[in-house]
Amino acid sequence: MSRKRILSGMRPSGKLHIGHLFGALNNWVKLQDEYDCFYMVADWHALTTDYAETGSIALNSREMVIDWLTVGIDPKKSVIFRQSDVVEHAELFLLLSMITPLGWLFRCPTYKEQLQEVTSKDLQTFGFLGYPVLQAADIMLYQATVVPVGEDQLPHLELTREICRRFNNLYGEIFPEPQGLLTPAARVPGIDARKMSKSYNNAIALDEEPAEIKKKVQQMFTDPLKLRAKDPGHPDGCVVYAFHVLYNPGASVRKEECAQGAIGCVACKAQVVEFVEAGIAPLREKRRVVSRQTGMIDDILNDGKIRARAVAEQTMQTVRGAIKLSHE
């Protein structure tokens, strides 16, 4: 019996942090046992915003693969590949661009938001507008039926489904409609309580050093109403408590202790330092080992390219046939 196929991807935007771990990667690791997984380094997607400074994309791509291997993405179970290694993404993207109405793209909430938010780059480009079309091509190329994504990506997935239906209406039933699989994501706040993100400078890296962990936990925002250790606290909005939930199996006990004023923030933070360190230490060690094996990383990416292209090429043969540009 063949298993359902998954495709998911991430843009290589630098070292990953524990927001990625709890928000996506832990889930990716689990899915490997149930699905045929294709995990893609979306380096062409990185170009849609970073076209003017491409210098770090290659390195970031490798670093991201190292992070994936560190957390347990297994090249024996899953296909790990770089988008730009599979040129069929570009071909399908081009064909899909012919049938995608501009209105769908201009209406896309992520497009509108990013145009407003990102002021340091000129995003008035065709490529940036077409971001979701490229993403649709990624998914459709592997005829993936399941796409694990975070909530922020749901509009893109909906667009993929629309593009898919339109293609099938025009050229025949070729593509299955993919379903989004919402990651049961733990919310990971950054040390300043905003969403953890590299660009906010509030993240804890997957392999953060012990001294940095300590420093960052000490900077974490706590309940502003809990001034003295014995004041009752409000764990629900507290970053330190959120980290207890992620790392401390006894988090519910802590919640009560905090609410009753039975523990102060200083002691509570000191424990978080220990829990986070215990969680990160094995990753730090593993990452060190993996990152030294440069030949192995090359081999994994090469193998991924071959396996991904085999599927992609098959899809494209069907697609080319359906579009009928040639006569065979």
Q: Which of 9-17, 165-173, 233-241, 249-257 is the region at the interface with ligand TRP (rule: CB under 6 A)? A: 9-17
For residue 161, state whether it binds ligand TRP (rule: CB under 6 A).
Answer: no
Nearer to ligand TRP, 7 or 79 (CB): 7
Residue 180 is inside which H or E element, if any?
strand 179-182
Nearer to ligand TRP, 8 or 84 (CB): 8
Nearer to ligand TRP, 10 or 86 (CB): 10
CB of 38 to ligand TRP, least distance (A): 9
Residue number with the smallest Cβ distance to ligand TRP: 9
- Taking CB under 6 A as the criterion, the residue among 153, 222, 248, 271 binding ligand TRP is 153
For residue 21, state whether it binds ligand TRP (rule: CB under 6 A).
Answer: no
Q: Which residue, 60, 40, 38, is CA-closest to 50?
A: 60
The DSSP secondary structure of 41-104, one letter per residue, reads E-HHHHHHHHTT--TTHHHHHHHHHHHHHHHT--TTTSEEEEGGG-THHHHHHHHHHHHS-HHH
Residue 290 is inside which H or E element, if any?
helix 265-292
For residue 86, state whether it binds ligand TRP (rule: CB under 6 A).
Answer: no
Contact indicator for 168, 175 with CB cutoff of 8 Å: yes
DSSP state of 237: G
Q: How many CB atoms lie within 10 A of CB 265?
A: 20
For residue 139, state whether it binds ligand TRP (rule: CB under 6 A).
Answer: yes
Q: What are phi and psi of 7, to 5 degrees?
A: -125, 135
Residue 258 is inside which H or E element, if any?
helix 251-259
For residue 10, state whether it binds ligand TRP (rule: CB under 6 A).
Answer: yes
- Taking CB under 6 A as the criterion, the residue among 63, 67, 85, 138 binding ligand TRP is 138
Sheet holding 146-149, edge to edge: 79-82, 36-41, 5-10, 146-149, 179-182
Nearer to ligand TRP, 82 or 216 (CB): 82
Q: Which of 74-82, 131-139, 250-258, 264-272 is the region at the interface with ligand TRP (rule: CB under 6 A)? A: 131-139
Neighbour-count burial of 89, counting CB atoms closer than 10 A to its CB (0-12 exposed, 13-18 middle, 19+ buried): buried
Nearer to ligand TRP, 151 or 299 (CB): 151
For residue 147, state whether it binds ligand TRP (rule: CB under 6 A).
Answer: yes
Q: How far apart are the first and last CA of the chain?
A: 33
For residue 135, state whether it binds ligand TRP (rule: CB under 6 A).
Answer: yes
Q: Which of 8-16, 64-72, 179-187, 273-281 is the region at the interface with ligand TRP (rule: CB under 6 A)? A: 8-16
- Taking CB under 6 A as the criterion, the residue among 45, 216, 226, 244 binding ligand TRP is 45
DSSP state of 190: -
CB of 294 to ligand TRP, least distance (A): 25
For residue 9, state whether it binds ligand TRP (rule: CB under 6 A).
Answer: yes
Number of residues in contact with ligand TRP, rule: CB under 6 A?
14
CB of 132 to ligand TRP, least distance (A): 8
Q: Which residue, 215, 205, 211, 143, is CA-closest to 179?
A: 143
Contact indicator for 14, 60 with CB cutoff of 8 Å: yes
For residue 6, state whether it binds ligand TRP (rule: CB under 6 A).
Answer: no
Residues that bind ligand TRP in the complex, under the rule CB under 6 A: 7-11, 42, 45, 135, 138-139, 147, 149, 153, 156
